[in-house]
Amino acid sequence: MKILNKKFWKNSVTGLAAGAVFAMGTAAANAVEIEYWQYFFEARVNAVDILIENFEAANPDITVIQTTFPYADYRTKVAASIPAGQGPDVVQLFYGWLNDYVDADLIRPLPTDMFPPEQIEAEFFPMVQAMKRDGAYMALPTAVRALALFYNKRLFEEAGIEAPPETLDELVDIAAALTKRDGSGNITQVGITTGMNAQDHHWWREVLVRQFGGSPYTDDYKTVTYNDASGIAALQWYADLETTHGVTQSGVMDEPQAAFKAGRAGMHIDGSFRIGALNSTRGLEWGVAELPAGPDGMRSNYSSYWVNAVTSKAEGEKQEAALKFMAYLTSDEAMQIWLETVGELPAKPTAALTDANKADPVFGPFVEGLGYARTTIFANESGQRQVIMDALQRILLEDASAETALGEAAATEQALLDEYYN
């Protein structure tokens, strides 16, 4: 892994971060310590360690302490600590959680003189505009990500499969060839992982629904529209992977990515953030391909991002130091380090959509996916994810029809949207 020159950003930062750094001038005259929080994901932790080391080398009067928590506990810890005047000065959060953080006064708007909205909108991917409230940005990402299909090269070779699937029909055929069972008929190797609790709810919502001819929501994402023939067909196709084709098994090894890392799955759909973890998995030979095209050749994708924000707990010298750290987190250097360490693409098109990235066998499929991806605007990300998880479980465990399960899901999700927007 390449680590960039620790002093590079101080002398060479351009664009938004440069303006912020120069606007800040020197931080507090006395040493100040700030906390940075994120959930535990090894590649992300490693990336932030590098960024902190670089930042502190250029800012010896500021110390940044990184604290992490398991994903399941993370939001609760953040929500409890900040109102008590404890916890992070800079916090990482999923873009879909922004409404909750703003409503609870957990984060501060970024000063418009240091983070000019017009400059952000000129330099960053348009998807970050979901972070704007009342003329100011509440948070900004270091990187963005899309979905792609990971495949196990060794298992493909064993099965005599030369290339990953180009279409959904090919995906089913290849998954069947990769599936293995023991003498009792129990699956020992799945052709493809599934799990609505992971990235598949995004794959279904923004990819499969559209590929089957529908749309998950109205353009403003305030009204559910996936409970039509297209959405039903998309959910039925997904459920059929297990119930009809027998090429997958929900809950295998608890998490789909764990099955793929263990070599017990031929294919796995995930985000570019998985690259770092797969790179460190000894003995795993894997490749990446674009998501398979739909029945009429249509391609679709889902893009998302995690953002950094300054919390309402940060005041005085800590706030100044936190804003300076935010400036570095959104610099070109930080984005390059994140790409090399985590695998997520820079949040600026000029840095992400380069010829080198497009041609890269790993990054390339994600870059292509960003070109036609959509970003879901969540009102309640965890709640909206849960209704799709529940819909699938009604099909798998209660033998409900896809039409019935999706109708119930749509009613529940619409109630969530109405409660928030009304």
Q: What pLDDT digit, counting tens, does each position of 232-290 carry?
A: 999 999 999 999 999 999 878 778 999 999 999 999 999 988 988 898 899 999 999 99
Whether residue 176 has pLDDT greater than 70: yes
* Residue 291 DSSP symbol: P
Q: How many CB atoms lie within 10 A of CB 295?
A: 13
pLDDT at 19: 43
Answer yes or no: is 367 within a domain. no
Answer yes or no: is 282 within a domain. yes
Q: Are residues 61 and 164 in the same domain?
A: no
90-146 per-position pLDDT tens digit: 999 998 888 889 999 999 999 999 999 999 999 999 889 989 999 999 999 999 999
Q: Are residues 282 and 411 in the same domain?
A: yes
pLDDT band at 9 (very low <50, low <70, confident <90, very high): very low
Structural domain including 409 reads 147-302+379-421
Whether residue 354 has pLDDT greater than 90: no
**Looking at 27-36, 212-221, 260-269, 271-280, which range is the least confident one?**
27-36
Whether residue 27 has pLDDT greater than 50: no
Whether residue 200 has pLDDT greater than 90: yes
**Looking at 269-278, 289-298, 327-336, which range is the least confident one?**
269-278
Answer yes or no: is 372 within a domain. no
Q: Are residues 166 and 296 in the same domain?
A: yes
Measured CA angle at 91 (ends 85, 97), to 5 deg: 105
pLDDT at 11: 36
Q: Are residues 173 and 116 in the same domain?
A: no
Q: Are residues 160 and 271 in the same domain?
A: yes
Q: Are residues 297 and 319 in the same domain?
A: no
Answer yes or no: is 373 within a domain. no
CATH of the domain at 109: 3.40.190.10
Judged on CB neighbours under 10 Å (0-12, 13-18, 19+), 398 is exposed
Q: Are residues 272 and 350 in the same domain?
A: no
Answer yes or no: is 1 within a domain. no
Answer yes or no: is 48 within a domain. yes
When the pLDDT of each residue in the chain is averaged and rounded to a whole number, the result is 91
pLDDT at 33: 97
Cβ atoms of 308 and 314 closer than 8 Å: no
| CA–CA distance, 101 with 10 (Å, rounded to integer) | 31
Residue 224 CA, distance from chain mean position: 22
Q: Which of 207, 179, 232, 189 is nearest to 392 (CA)?
A: 232
Whether residue 1 has pLDDT greater than 50: no
Q: Are residues 275 and 408 in the same domain?
A: yes
Q: Which of 348, 332, 420, 347 is nearest to 384 (CA)?
A: 420
pLDDT at 99: 86
Last residue within a domain, chosen from 359, 389, 405: 359
Virtual torsion, Cα 341, 347, 348, 349, nearest 10 deg: 90
Whether residue 199 has pLDDT greater than 90: yes
Answer yes or no: is 366 within a domain. no
User: 358 φ, ψ to 5°?
Assistant: -65, -35
Q: Which of 213, 191, 211, 344 is nearest to 269 (CA)?
A: 191
Q: Are residues 295 and 313 in the same domain?
A: no
Question: Which residues are CB-neighbours of 300 under 8 A, at least 6 positions away?
Answer: 206, 207, 210, 211, 291, 294, 372, 373, 374
Can you tell me the mean pLDDT for 398-409? 97
Q: Are residues 176 and 241 in the same domain?
A: yes
pLDDT at 29: 47
pLDDT at 14: 39
Answer yes or no: is 368 within a domain. no
Whether residue 62 has pLDDT greater than 80: yes
Domain total in the chain = 2
Q: Are residues 172 and 92 in the same domain?
A: no
pLDDT at 16: 57
Q: Are residues 274 and 413 in the same domain?
A: yes
pLDDT band at 4 (very low <50, low <70, confident <90, very high): very low
306-315 per-position pLDDT tens digit: 999 999 999 9
State the pTM of this model: 0.81
Whether residue 22 has pLDDT greater than 80: no
Q: Which of 84, 10, 82 is nearest to 324 (CA)?
A: 10
